[in-house]
Chains A and B, each alone.
Chain A
Amino acid sequence: MFNRIKAISKKETKQLIRDVRMMAVIFLFPVFLLGMFGYAINFDVHHIKIAVYDQDKSSVSREFINSLLSSEYFDLAGYLNSDKQIKQNLDEKLAQCVVVIPYNFSREFYANRPSKIQYLIDGVDGNTATVIMNYVNVATMSHSSKLTAEILARKGMNVFALIQLEPRFWFNPELNSTRFLLPGLIGMILIVVSVITIALSIVREKERGTIEQINVSPLSTIEMMIGKTIPYIVIALINAGLILLAGFILFGITIKGSILWLIISILIFLFSSLCLGLLVSTIADSQQVAFQIGTLISMIPSLLLSGFIFPIESMPPIVQIITNITPAKFFIVCLRSILLKGEGVAVFWQQLVFMMIFAFAVLAIATRRYIKKAV
């Protein structure tokens, strides 16, 4: 049995190495995805373009504007002179936010009366708009309290906040979204590559008719499947290493937890992905169809349903159940624990069990379907 599995793996490796195009796809596709997602998909809101309509034009208003622009969150898009320009700036997306300082701003200030500042925010992208609102809120509040302190100081009084808020974000202190996305990205890349490579390799045998010669030999289905998966596990493992290396070089992401458990989690995940690929190969009869089904079944769920981008907890209950169709869901939890939090296996062992259950369930279906078709 061991010899026959070895024979299949050896043959598969030879074929794989000779298939230059396939090798290129296997190794370039992850780099491409990593670059695309790492740089293009970024939920961090920096450098908000802000336009200022200063009707007051006083030293007080200028001081306020300067304090806003001094942070890295805001970039000045320009000064406006009329109400019409506000609409134009927001319409043409010249600015994401417009600050309007009213005529009476300094007068009210010197009269020790509260004065109001208007913010107009482009609300098309709700997510960004909320973030902008929070930023301007905080910036305004802190400037306001600074002024209050100055006024009171002039009157010989000392002011201090009774309660000070000091938030601290754990695991991802800069709230860097790439850090949050990378585990999901690794999961997605690995599942796509494994599902497609194994499915194509089996469907190619069907297309060429070589599967007949295998079926007529004493080789059993399970021996063939194991033999076929071994080279692809090795390839995918190398791939995973490359992605982690790229994650470190490009985005400075280090492995905080145990490397051993990282490798074990990756292996279990790869095994379940390859089982999914085997299932695809029993559905498709041509390489084209295999590629399409493989992409569909691996990429879409691991992108939308795995918690990669959208948190599973905020999905409707039915959708939460559907999320179990992708092993990436479980893998991402493991990766986030190991990579970002440095947690031990005690936290995520259940996820590993779920992945194993998933893998064996899919493998059982695939083997049954394969035997049914083959004999």
Chain B
Amino acid sequence: MEQIIQIENLEKSYGTIHAVQNISLSINKGEMFGLVGPDGAGKTTTIRILCGLLLKDSGDVKVVDKDISKYRKEIQKSIGYLSQKFSLYGDLTVDENMEFFAEIHNVKDYKERRDELLEFTRLKSFRSRLADKLSGGMKQKLALACSLIHKPQIIFLDEPTTGVDPVSRRDFWKILSGLLKEGMTIFMSTPYLDEAERCNRVALMNAGKIIALDTPQKIKEHMDNFVVEIVCTPVRKAYELIKGITELEVQMFGDRVNVIVKNYEKEIPVVKKLLEKNSVEILDNRIITPSLENVFMHLIKEAS
């Protein structure tokens, strides 16, 4: 498969903080790639380096077959970038924002493309509204439309759906799948693992390092332990008991805990006994297919 981004041994530090530590990965043309990790994992730093907004300390980065340190401005002609923060001109209208970004990208006949994008993002009826007066979801769609006006080959999205309501989020994803169909490469970062599940491939990133890199399915299969879901009450007490007394890894989700075990027959009865003895009521327990979240938390724990 044709590779469109190649990263080798990339490093970046801010003073004593190693934001990105020796990461290597390559992105295929036309795929949706997800960079997943908690806040401070180095996701934004990586994206900003790829967009030429930040200088790397060392390593090789090639985007659309060009070296980022030498051809920054060249590369920027064929990429789009959507930053975490809403970054359009609030005092310009939807149309004017798009016009401006078209013009600074030297797109001459942008009118048709603009109409197409406004149609695509369903913003056409708001075209003469000031960007500041749009709702959060619409702002995000407008920002996406602006970063697509020059028909980039790759689009970088930095946590595009953070702080966006569920309905707009679904809309946004529909637009993204439309782009994928057109053959665009999408590189996104997200803290949401449900979003990561929808990517072709994901890289799990923690503390500046990539701790897993594969398709979501393969990453989940990689987990050789059982995940046992115990629905119980009070759940916090159960979590603390298991965490404090047994050696097992435990994760808490709402009204249930997930316990990661190597040997189901041997270890689960111990856990059950412990909970019952401490008057925690167990409503249900079963082995579940691990979610990305389970795997991710497991991997982070193993790494540390």
List residues of A whose CB falls within 8 A of some B CB.
Answer: 3-4, 6-8, 10-11, 14-15, 18-19, 208-220, 374-375
Contacts and interface: CB of A to CB of B under 8 A. Distances in A.
Interface string B72-113: 110011010101011111111000100011011110000000
Given A11-B100, A375-B53, A375-B54, A218 B106 contact: yes
B81 A4 contact: no
A7 B53 contact: no
Interface string B182-211: 000000000000000000000000000000
Nearest to A4: B104
Interface in B103-147: 103-106, 146-147
A206 to B, nearest CB: 10
B89 A375 contact: no
A275 B54 CA distance: 25
A211 B83 CA distance: 11
B81 A212 contact: yes
Given A210-B88, A210-B89, A216 B103 contact: no
The B interface is mostly helix, strand or loop, or mixed, namely loop
B248 interface: no
Given A3-B106, A217-B104, A14 B73 contact: no
A4 B79 CA distance: 18
B51 A14 contact: no
B57 to A, nearest CB: 13
B104 A8 contact: yes
Given A209-B83, A212-B53, A216-B79, A18 B103 contact: no
29 contacts: A4-B103, A7-B103, A7-B104, A10-B100, A11-B89, A11-B96, A15-B91, A18-B91, A208-B89, A208-B90, A209-B86, A209-B87, A210-B87, A210-B88, A210-B89, A211-B87, A212-B53, A212-B87, A213-B81, A213-B87, A213-B101, A213-B147, A215-B52, A216-B51, A216-B79, A218-B77, A218-B106, A219-B104, A375-B52
A211 B53 CA distance: 10
A209 B54 contact: no
B55 interface: yes
A215 B77 CA distance: 11
Contacts of B106: 3-4, 218
B96 A14 contact: yes
Contacts of A19: 91
Contacts of B146: 213
A331 to B, nearest CB: 33
Contacts of B72: 375
Contacts of A10: 100, 103
A375 B73 CA distance: 11
Given A209-B83, A216-B52, 17 more contacts: A14-B92, A15-B89, A18-B91, A19-B91, A209-B85, A209-B86, A209-B87, A212-B81, A212-B83, A213-B81, A213-B87, A216-B76, A217-B76, A217-B104, A218-B77, A218-B104, A374-B53
Contacts of B52: 215-216, 375
Given A7-B100, A7-B104, A216 B92 contact: no
A108 to B, nearest CB: 82
Interface residues of B, number: 29
Interface of B: 51-55, 72-73, 76-77, 79, 81, 83, 85-92, 96, 100-101, 103-106, 146-147
Contact of A208 (B51, B87, B103, B147): B87
A11 B76 contact: no
B51 A214 contact: no
Nearest to B97: A11
Nearest to A16: B91
Nearest to B85: A209
Contact of B105 (A14, A15, A209, A218): A218
A10 B92 CA distance: 11
Interface hub of A3, A7, A220 (most chain B Cβ within 10 A):
A7
Contacts of B101: 213, 217
- 3 smallest CB-CB distances across A and B, nearest first, come from A7-B103, A209-B87, A209-B85
Contact of B103 (A3, A209, A215, A220): A3
A212 B104 CA distance: 13
A372 to B, nearest CB: 9
A266 B138 CA distance: 45
A18 B100 CA distance: 16
B43 to A, nearest CB: 16
A211 B103 CA distance: 16
A218 B89 CA distance: 18
Contacts of A7: 100, 103-104
A18 to B, nearest CB: 5
Nearest to B87: A209
B76 A375 contact: no
Nearest to A208: B87
A367 to B, nearest CB: 15
Nearest to A8: B104
Nearest to B79: A216
B107 to A, nearest CB: 10
A3 B72 CA distance: 20
B59 to A, nearest CB: 16
Given A15-B91, A375-B54, A375-B72, A217 B96 contact: no
Interface hub of B79, B87, B88 (most chain A Cβ within 10 A):
B87
Contacts of B91: 14-15, 18-19
A216 B81 contact: yes
Contacts of A11: 89, 92, 96, 100
A337 B192 CA distance: 69
Contacts of A208: 87, 89-90
Nearest to A17: B91
Given A212-B53, A374-B53, A375-B55, A217 B105 contact: yes
A105 B76 CA distance: 94
B194 to A, nearest CB: 27
